[in-house]
Structure 1
Amino acid sequence: MAVIEWTRRAMKQLRQIAKAEQPVVYSAVDALRSWPDCRNVKALVGCDEYRLRVGRYRIIFSIHGERPRIVRIEEVKKRDERTY
């Protein structure tokens, strides 16, 4: 089971989204503990990061270790043409 780690930047971005949508993001991120059996996850091209799709939001994260022990949440952004 992996440990979820939030960066300061990701927490700030999470606080800026609508209060009603924050619990949905939290529960989707919590599902990352069961890596690699997660849905809506894709590897980003050209880097070692992944993205998790949660409605209109994208969670950018990285994985540390072969059998991930730490999942580090890098960013939480609303999907638009500048998200990636």
Structure 2
Amino acid sequence: MTVIQWTNRASKQIRAVDSRYLDRMFEKIEALQNFPNVQADIIELKGEQNKGKFRMRVGFYRVIFEVINNEPIIIEIQEIKKRDEQTYRNH
């Protein structure tokens, strides 16, 4: 079983997502229930401070999430940002 949690920041950021991407984004986030067996563009973030953190590409947007626990799997959606030069600045 996988539990998906949202940070307050991610909950606020999802409101700014272009409506053309919302359905697709929620489908991809829901698909994380099957992590790590997910058909999505997911890459683990580099760096010591990013252990356990991943990014998932959904169109021009990036969903930053962290796998907090392995049994049960807890995935925390941390940020949802439009891809630009600032996207990975704090990660």
Task: Specify if TM > 0.5.
Answer: yes
**Aligned CA-pair RMSD:** 1.2
**Structure 1 runs, 4 residues or longer, greater than 4 Å off:** none
Shift of 1:67: 4.3
> One-letter code of the match for 2:43?
K
Aligned equivalent of 2:46: 45
CA distance in 2, matches of 1:25, 1:65: 23
Q: Give how far 1:53 is off.
A: 0.6
**Is 1:18 paired with 2:12?**
no
Structure 1 match to 2:81: 77
- The answer to whether residue 62 in structure 2 is matched with residue 58 in structure 1 is yes
The DSSP-based 3-state class of the residue aligned with 1:21 is: helix
Q: Distance in 2 between matches of 1:30 and 1:67?
A: 18
Runs of 5+ consecutive residues of structure 1 not aligned to the other structure: none
Report sequence identity in percent: 40
Give per-residue Cα distances to partners, 1:41-65, cap 9 Å, x unaligned: 1100011210001110000000022
Distance in 2 (alpha carbons) for counterparts of 1:68 and 1:79: 31
How many residue pairs end up in the alignment?
84
Deviation string 1:9-60 (CA, Å, 9 cap, x unpaired) is 0011000112232111111100111011122111000112100011100000
- Cα gap change, 1:67/1:36 in structure 2, threshold over 3 Å: closer, same or farther? farther
Checking the alignment, whether the CA contact within 8 Å between 1:35 and 1:68 is kept in structure 2 is no
